[in-house]
Structures are given as C-alpha cells and as structure tokens.
Structure 1
Amino acid sequence: MPEWCGTVWRAWHALRFDRHYGAFGGQTQISFLAIDRYAARYGISGTEFETFFALICAMDDEYLQHVAREAEKTKPPKEE
C-alpha cells in the first residue's frame, strides 16, 4: 500500500463507527461533521481536505455496499 494511503486508511478506521445505526441494523454514511472535525484536528484543509473527504466517502461507500451484500446472504429465502 502506498504511504499516502496510510493517512486515509487510519482516518477511515478512526471514523468508521461515527455514523448513525438504525433500529433494524441499517447504517448511514460517516457524517460530514465527523470527517470535517477529524481533518481540522490533523490539519487537513483546502484542496487536501477535498481529496481526503472524497477518499473517505469512497471507502465508506464500499464498506456500506459490503455490509449490504453480507446482510443479503443471511436473509432467509422468500416463501412463494
């Protein structure tokens, strides 16, 4: 993994539980506020923030798609 990826990877792992979880197990994306606050703490701003935000969102979208695929596997078959 390239060195530059480490910052984004560590950030996503730090932020991945900073999301809303629904009563029936659904998850939403990591909030903009959480990402923005993390970036501010670590001095990520300007164009660097825009790239950081896009990468975190892309990683999170992939994670949520993975969670949905795994949930689909555990559903009982529909009765006809």
Structure 2
Amino acid sequence: MPPGAELPWRGWHALRFDRQYGAMGGESPIMFVAIDAYARRYRIRGAAFETFHALVGAMDEEYLEHVQRKADDARTADEERRRVAGRGPNHDEAVP
C-alpha cells in the first residue's frame, strides 16, 4: 500500500456499507454525510479532508464498477445458460 493510503483505506472499509441499496439491486456511492461524520470523528479537516474525501470516493467508484462488472457477467452467463437450454431471456419463451 502506498505511503499515506492507510487512512483512506481504513475509512473506505469502515464506510463501505454506509450506502443506499436499490430494491432491484444496485448500490449507490457512500454518502457524503457518512464520509464527513467519519472525518469529523477522526479530526480530518481542511485540505486533508478534501484529499480523504477524494480518495475514499475514488476507491468507492472502483468498487462500484467492480460490482457492476460482476453483475453484468452473471447476467451474461445466465442468458447464455438459457440460450443453450433452448429458452429465451424470459424463462418460458422458447427460442426457435
């Protein structure tokens, strides 16, 4: 881990579940109020807060992209299984 990255890394791990989850799946970014509260608790202020916020946000963005890639891969694999089984995207739709 690069020097100086420990604080934002620990912050992201502490905050990674402090987000909204969609009813149909999907996750929103970590909320600013959560990052702000964490920073206030650990006395991260001024330019250090701006850096902390940017780094936690960048890590979270990468995490969300990873989650989306996994969901897309699972959906593609499921569609392929259905195609091979002779069914269309809708479970009861036969493929000619």
- TM-score if structure 1 supplies the norm length? 0.93
Indicate the structure whose relative CO is greater, using CA pairs within 8 Å and at least 6 residues apart. 1
Aligned to 1:26: 26
The structure with the larger Rg is: 2
RMSD of the TM alignment (CA)? Answer: 1.4
Query: Any idea what the Cα deviations from partners look like across 1:5-49, whole Å, max 9, x if unmatched?
Result: 111111000000000001111100000000000000000010110
- Figure out how many residues of one structure are paired with residues of the other and give that number: 80
**Is 1:68 matched up with 2:72?**
no
- TM-score if structure 2 supplies the norm length? 0.78
Identity %: 55
Q: Which runs of 5+ in 1 are unaligned?
A: none
In 2, the alpha carbon distance for the partners of 1:4 and 1:67 equals 26
Please tell me the residue identity of whatever aligns with 2:79: P
Q: Which runs of 5+ in 2 are unaligned?
A: 81-87, 89-94
